[in-house]
Amino acid sequence: MTELHTGQRTPRLVALLALACGVAVGNVYFPQAVAPLVAAGLGVSPGTAAGVVTATQFGYAAGIFLLVPLGDRLPPRSLLVTLLTLTGLGLCAAAAAPALPPLLVASVLVGASTVIAPLAGPLAAGLVPPERRGVVGGTLLSGSLAGMLLSRTAGGALGDRLGWRAPYVLAALLTLAVAPLLARALPATAAPSRQRYPRLLAEPVRLLFTEPALRRSSFYQATVFAGFSAVWTGVALLLTGPRYGLGADAVGLLALVNAVTMLVTPVAGRLVDRRGADAVNLVCFLLVLASAAVLALGGLGGIPGLLSLVAGTLLLDVGMQSGMVGNQVRVYALAADVRSRLNTAYMACAYLGGSLGSWLGSRAYAGFGWSGVCALVALLTGLGLVRHLGARAAGRTAVARHIRAKPVRPSGCDVTVR
């Protein structure tokens, strides 16, 4: 998306976009809290019902790849309002699903159409100067995080009291309510690009091959988000299983404890603006690695186990979200006129990683229990950290070579020493 200028309307528009991000992202995450209820309601095993989570995230990754490039081709207002309306209708279909297969299909469709956050990021980046993009990105991420956390809390609590279909109905109402708000607030702008749809689809793949910074950011987020998704898929099985014997609302309450992360992402954005994305990425990896060790203690059960789950998921959320801010700022700086396509490549890789993480997390839990999930998080994060340390070392080597290659002029002498 190209640069937009809305003057004094910018703060209010960014706030509304953050709200839309929260509502849309919540549609991807509340199924994590209600999956055990789906299993009981539809008469399938908990592991099979966890397929609803994977289907939603797979649909989200597909929507990022197939629909987000249209942000560079279609006016933002009509695109966002249409997608919100389709998402609301898909949620209604999911609420009415009579069996698991139709629910899985509806979940894929909901995930594919609820790609508001990947579209809002490039749009908001064009509203502010480059030195403010970290803060704005952090604000949108706070909105997304609020939706992520509150949707799990509300979904679990509402599902325990009214059944697994009730959270889908509530999500549909919220989504359909945001659509007219965006229709009124977003400016009517012309399409920034006239490229045909097939060319738009091919462009993110080309950018992945030609932009090393994009590949690096995508790999970082894919590994960390895979671990994040594995934890939140597995923790629902842990809390509702024999070790704790709690209800689905416990998953939502655990997520609500991590609401403090909403205050951290704007701080991470300011740090990116001041220190750069690489420094924030390093902190991100170290926090997520530490979270894997703390989360492993959650298998003890009882109060010590619950406290470990609270502390571990908090470290995990802070690390993952802070890394997201740094990665997106790095990606948005590459080119203004193809931001949606850059974000398509980045987010598709991230959510493919998330889908894989949900699948691996459920398999790790089934085969090795909670400790297997924590080991998986450490392994995935370690891959990202090794890649990051290698990139930093290569960068320092390149700088040193550049300095050595510079000609040196001694003081008071006009002849270059070779």
Q: Mean pLDDT by 10-residue block, N- to C-terminus, for the chain (418 residues)?
A: 52 84 90 84 81 86 85 84 94 92 93 89 70 71 81 83 91 93 79 76 88 93 93 87 80 73 75 83 93 94 91 91 86 77 85 86 91 95 92 68 56 42
- Domains of the chain and any CATH numbers: 7-186+194-403 (1.20.1250.20)
3-class SS of residue 417: strand
Residue 241 backbone phi and psi in degrees, to 5 = -85, -170
DSSP state of 244: T
Task: Check residue 415 and give its pLDDT.
Answer: 41
Task: Check residue 411 and give its pLDDT.
Answer: 46
What is the rounded radius of gyration, in angstroms, for the C-alpha atoms of the chain? 22
Which parts of 68-196 fold into alpha helices (H)? 76-95, 100-113, 116-125, 133-162, 165-185
Locate 333 and state its tokens.
């700086």
Task: Check residue 129 and give its pLDDT.
Answer: 63
CA angle (2, 7, 8) in 5-degree steps = 140
State the burial class of residue 113 (Cβ atoms within 10 Å of its Cβ: 0-12, 13-18, 19+). buried
The partner residues of 417 in beta bridges, in order of sequence, read 408
Query: What is 180-206 written as a DSSP string?
Result: HHHHHHS-----S----HHHHHHHHHH
Nearest Cα residue to 118 out of 254, 210, 25:
25
Locate 380 and state its tokens.
């995935």
Report d(CA 183, CA 358) in Å as an integer: 34
CA angle (299, 352, 335) in 5-degree steps = 125
3-class SS of residue 408: strand
Locate 263 and state its tokens.
């205050």
Task: Check residue 259 and give its pLDDT.
Answer: 73
- CB of 330 within 8 A of CB of 277? yes
Report d(CA 266, CA 139) in Å as an integer: 6
Report d(CA 238, CA 254) in Å as an integer: 12
Element (H, E) at 353: helix 339-368
Task: Check residue 412 and give its pLDDT.
Answer: 47
